[in-house]
Amino acid sequence: MEQNIKIGQKGYPKIFEADNLGAICWSHAVNSMEKLKKYLNNPEIDFLEFDIRLSTNGRIIAAHPPAMESNLPFEYILEQATNSKQGIKLDFKDPEILIPCLKMLAEANLEQPVMLNADILQGNKANIAKFNPVGFLVLCKKHYPQGLLSIGWTTTNNPDLRYTEENIDEMLELCKEVEGGNLTFPVRACLLPKSWEQLRRLLAEKPGSTLTVWNNEPVSEELADEIKENTDPERTFYDFIDSEGNPLRLI
């Protein structure tokens, strides 16, 4: 069943009984069986985020690099998702798993939103992206066109290494043929204070698109306040954790 929900549509948050995108609550890095059981169908959680990669024995699993093992296979994630209304975000870490994952997704026939994420461009003084950027978009469109595209840059947690004009230019050129309502740009929270001017161009020049602000580390009160002041919850997801690593609802 092709899913027609678009991120930019006003009615999208109603799936999660939320007032806007910013009110949607995420569970970040659900990469173990224990964490999945804790948050699956938890009424406080709207979206589950998984890091998907290839294990040392060739299985597709949920694990965040440098970890290459976990007790959570990709097939099990899809099996459990069929019994849930929660959206899922798949953060692909290895290019070779993309096609088989997309094919399994198509066969799973999920009805909830599925976000397809990868760091497909190199960020400011960050690691080279593993993915071919055009190839990622082409494969997602071919094998899982109903997926919500989440395309970003490799990053570091150094606040001084902001998103540059060149980063934004490259991204806008890459996705010029992609419908804005089917597109979100994942951006790292700690880089935002020095990047507002650049990031606003994404939303201005790509109507209907959104930001997904995330952090692997807890955000300070000062940074959280700055994010709330400078982003629009109608066009921004907030995927944060607290000091204990638990989901944090920003607004």
Q: What is the model's pLDDT at position 95? A: 98
Q: Name the stretches of the chain with pLDDT < 70.
A: 1-17
Residue 242 within a domain: yes
Residue 7 within a domain: no
Place of tokens 């982003």: 231
Q: What is the model's pLDDT at position 18? A: 77
User: CATH no. for residue 112?
Assistant: 3.20.20.190
Q: What is the model's pLDDT at position 3? A: 36
Q: What is the model's pLDDT at position 15? A: 60
**CA–CA separation, 183 vs 209, rounded Å?**
5
Which tens digits make up the pLDDT trace of 145-168? Answer: 999 999 999 999 999 999 999 999
Helix (H, G, I), strand (E, B) or coil at 138: helix
Residue 251 within a domain: no
Q: What is the model's pLDDT at position 13? A: 59
Phi-psi region of 33 (alpha: psi -120 to 50; beta: other; left: phi over 0): alpha
What predicted TM-score, i.e. pTM, was given to this entire model? 0.93
In terms of Cα–Cα distance, which of 71, 9, 1, 3 is closest to 37?
71
Domain count of the fold of the chain: 1
Q: What is the model's pLDDT at position 16? A: 66
